[in-house]
Structure 1
């Protein structure tokens, strides 16, 4: 979590710096007045006060800088904890290049440093500090204070106009930088293939084009930065000049209008010294304005990687749910499948049939959030599937059964890690693995590698079915559970599923007419 105390502390220290500036201006004005009176004692006191005020300002500015850096470090740490897990596991449908994602996770987080260390504390100080200085100036010349406050309007307008242009330029620059990083990293990964196909020249042109785009975007940012700095410095100089003209003409008594006040040398010098200090917080803010644009553009990209976490959902499915696919389109970018509309009644077995590539598996993946949905919606008991806690409440058997190095029992227990040995063996036997367990001396302690070596195709399918049985979930999703099996093994698994699926909602994708025969309803996709 970002340390807001450090950020606010930095803002207060920057504001306190303006208070020290008032003390320094008062000491300098008092010293000049004492010198004019030849009062050496008062002059020494004024010089001592100036030295103390200067030391105080130095300490306050160092403290403000350190507090801002601490807040920036906390902010970057918080973003790293949030972003890095999302980069390591790409979300469904993410078509960004790996290098682009890594560049965003590393470089964009670093871009937040100036935003949190400088801009955010200075923004607060830029509001409070001018008011503090204007109040101090009122005691010497209320007209000079009014001039200072009046010139804030064009000054703020200039910053707003410059900031709008800078925001667009900074966002375009970060986009170009991320694309270049992604292109470079991905081409380095594919270097053997590029060399093998003799595509070095073409890839070199791609990188050169991306580099020129980054250079052009950077020049655009610099142009806006220079123009905005010129505008701000112009208004600051003009405002200081107006205060100086008023104080000088007032002292000389040659104002072109009746003066409502008469300034002494000390008062005029005090106000004149405060005039640059009045605009200093805003000039500091203007200098950090580029940090704001880069930081906000970086946050936008980072939130694209790791959007704010939704509130935890307690809407878990505890009973067999009803499913509805309402004009669902699965969009893989270059290929879109659908739309599909179908209803699966609660507690029913529904079979999806159709040729390979029609989208049967994609619909199952979309329900689990593993495939990108480009249109339509999926409802679970009338609620959006994204609002329902499906994790831990679905029994899954896919086309390919994954294994881990371990025993047969360990691989089946993946479905329910807390299950005891008796429950695991019962699920294995219910899935038809009993003859294999008895035929091998190791039984459930049979060692398997990550490929499931030593098991036949049918036995691997039965391990997947055993996991579904052990899970005992209210919703089963089965993706070709009898594919590539001989007729007898397929018939055995169909019988097992028909017996065990009672009281559950089952959605299965299959080519097999024999397996579809156990379904209470089916749809043929074409």
Structure 2
């Protein structure tokens, strides 16, 4: 399948809202048709009053029709904008869902290669940058072709020489738009890259604020953030300067062309021009041509105003397409071809499975092993031997090489916990319900008790509504680890994967965590634990030893 490009991404997204965009174009055409009708009625009334000397009462029906056309034109304009905005909103929702689904399919290991601030910026700001393209530019692109052709046809019928003047001036606007667009697209790409870097730079400084204060580097860090922000300001002003300059040039050419038509009509009506159809000009035809000349250029001028929306959308879509082009590991796709294990007792079957990372070669394997229901498998080995990679392979976060296979029980659910459990800014209940959003307070309390946090809960005045900060701020390391264990009790997942669950804990917290793990073991859960801790090794019914990615089973109890 060919790689997704920015142009193809925008085209595919537009195809999902073809009906709304087509209706928006139809409303725009009707709006322009009413503008032409209003101009013709006004010219007819003026000619009847000033040339034919008809009484005002006889022109009243035409005046009433002219007055009715004006608000009706506004209604069609409102409908056009509403339909285009709704199409843009639907497209952005669809793309954001697609991007988040793709990130979920990639898994945490692949996503870890991207800065969280950059991913957040892509999922929010860069997708929002597509708004102008679908809400304004896409519809205006069609109107900028259809409406001038319609006006040109009417003008040619009235006076072919005036139509030639309009036709000669028309290509200048698209020409300058193309020249400006190439520069604007490049600037927008640079601007989006600069914002991604600025986001990562700022969030890194915020996360490291305590360390910076300890070493007295806060002022220097502030200067670095200020310098990065000032660089972004300069890029933004460069982009705006180009946009305003291009608009001024395009307005000049449109105004000059309208002035030429006005001079021609004026001198033609005065009889100073005898060439071509000039001597046939009347007040009606001359006034109508003058009224139609701005309508001829208005769609092109609007397209020029929205042309920077196209440049911004292409710059954003290019970065989004790069992320969507990142391949999903085979074992995380819905079309994975490896069948489930033959035995219902087998949760996980590894058959000559190997894992390789770019630039590092093979870091695990080949591994051939089976994990059965109720096993407690402890994986030991030196740092860098592949323990964490083995757990990631078991979870499906990474894919094995094409030669080996990793088969899991059908619809296998697993729970994951490592040395730094994920805790979000919110309450205790919010963090627990990450495992089971429908759990009631009684289930949450029972899960905390199972993780040996019952005493802590009893001491908290707000109970489950007690707020905690991001990364567990307000809790000790042991309490944060046991809160993550409480989520495992709440999840009821049959397979539990734990990566160094007792690292950096004091003795009391270690004992509480080990007691909770023993309870999970007694409940029949299947545990896979990567650890060096002797007490956790004693929990094992099976022990695997990893040495430079090669697995050896030391005992099978």
Q: Which residue of the partner structure matches residue 75 of structure 1? A: 91
Query: What SS does the corresponding residue of 1:313 show, helix, strand or coil?
Result: coil
| Aligned ranges 1:84-483 → 2 under 5 Å | 92-255=110-273, 257-259=275-277, 262-303=280-321, 312-313=334-335, 315-318=337-340, 323=352, 325=354, 328-330=356-358, 337-338=360-361, 356-359=383-386, 361-362=388-389, 365=392, 370=397, 378-380=401-403, 392=411, 414=492, 416=494, 453=512, 455=514, 467=526
Contact 1:480/1:511 (CA < 8 Å) preserved in 2? no
Contact 1:251/1:264 (CA < 8 Å) preserved in 2? yes
Give 1:281 shift.
1.0
Q: Which residue of the partner structure matches residue 30 of structure 1? A: 44
Query: What SS does the corresponding residue of 2:340 show, helix, strand or coil?
Result: coil
CA offsets per residue over residues 18-72 of structure 1, 9 Å max, x none? 1111111101221221121111245434433332222222222222233333333
Instruction: For 1:51 and 1:178, locate their aligned partners in 2 and report how far apart those are by CA, in whole Å.
Output: 52
Give 1:222 shift.
1.3
CA offsets per residue over residues 244-273 of structure 1, 9 Å max, x none? 344344444544855598333311221221
**Inter-CA distance 489–358: structure 2 relative to 1 (3 Å threshold):** closer
Instruction: For 1:36 and 1:511, locate their aligned partners in 2 and report how far apart those are by CA, in whole Å.
Output: 99
Query: What SS does the corresponding residue of 1:379 show, helix, strand or coil?
Result: coil
Contact 2:38/2:70 (CA < 8 Å) preserved in 1? yes
Contact 1:323/1:343 (CA < 8 Å) preserved in 2? yes
Query: What SS does the corresponding residue of 2:187 show, helix, strand or coil?
Result: helix
Q: Which residue of the partner structure matches residue 546 of structure 2? A: 509
CA offsets per residue over residues 70-121 of structure 1, 9 Å max, x none? 3333334334544567789855353444444334433334433333322222
Contact 1:249/1:255 (CA < 8 Å) preserved in 2? yes
Instruction: For 1:26 and 1:172, locate their aligned partners in 2 and report how far apart those are by CA, in whole Å.
Output: 48
Based on CA coordinates, which of the two structures has the bigger radius of gyration? 1
Structure 1 unmatched runs, 5+: 331-335, 418-423, 425-448, 469-477, 498-507, 520-526
CA offsets per residue over residues 158-203 of structure 1, 9 Å max, x none? 1111112111112222332333334334433433332222111111
**Inter-CA distance 94–512: structure 2 relative to 1 (3 Å threshold):** closer
Instruction: For 2:517 and 2:76, locate their aligned partners in 1 and report how far apart those are by CA, in whole Å.
Output: 75
RMSD: 4.9
TM-score, with normalisation over the residues of structure 1? Answer: 0.68
Contact 1:87/1:102 (CA < 8 Å) preserved in 2? no
Contact 1:22/1:136 (CA < 8 Å) preserved in 2? no
Structure 2 unmatched runs, 5+: 1-12, 342-348, 372-378, 422-434, 436-446, 452-487, 497-507
Query: What SS does the corresponding residue of 2:401 show, helix, strand or coil?
Result: strand
Instruction: For 2:136 and 2:299, locate their aligned partners in 1 and report how far apart those are by CA, in whole Å.
Output: 11
Query: What SS does the corresponding residue of 2:41 show, helix, strand or coil?
Result: helix
Query: What SS does the corresponding residue of 1:272 show, helix, strand or coil?
Result: helix
Query: What SS does the corresponding residue of 2:361 show, helix, strand or coil?
Result: strand
Query: What SS does the corresponding residue of 1:356 show, helix, strand or coil?
Result: coil
Aligned residues: 452
**Inter-CA distance 365–84: structure 2 relative to 1 (3 Å threshold):** closer
Instruction: For 1:180 and 1:460, locate their aligned partners in 2 and report how far apart those are by CA, in whole Å.
Output: 47
**Inter-CA distance 518–288: structure 2 relative to 1 (3 Å threshold):** same
Contact 1:458/1:489 (CA < 8 Å) preserved in 2? no
Instruction: For 2:510 and 2:540, locate their aligned partners in 1 and report how far apart those are by CA, in whole Å.
Output: 25
Instruction: For 1:454 and 1:157, locate their aligned partners in 2 and report how far apart those are by CA, in whole Å.
Output: 70
Query: What SS does the corresponding residue of 2:51 show, helix, strand or coil?
Result: helix
CA offsets per residue over residues 320-363 of structure 1, 9 Å max, x none? 6754659x334xxxxx5335696568999xxx998532556447
Contact 1:322/1:345 (CA < 8 Å) preserved in 2? yes
Contact 1:72/1:116 (CA < 8 Å) preserved in 2? yes
Q: Which residue of the partner structure matches residue 493 of structure 1? A: 542
Q: Which residue of the partner structure matches residue 14 of structure 1? A: 28
Instruction: For 1:21 and 1:214, locate their aligned partners in 2 and report how far apart those are by CA, in whole Å.
Output: 43
Give 1:5 shift.
3.9
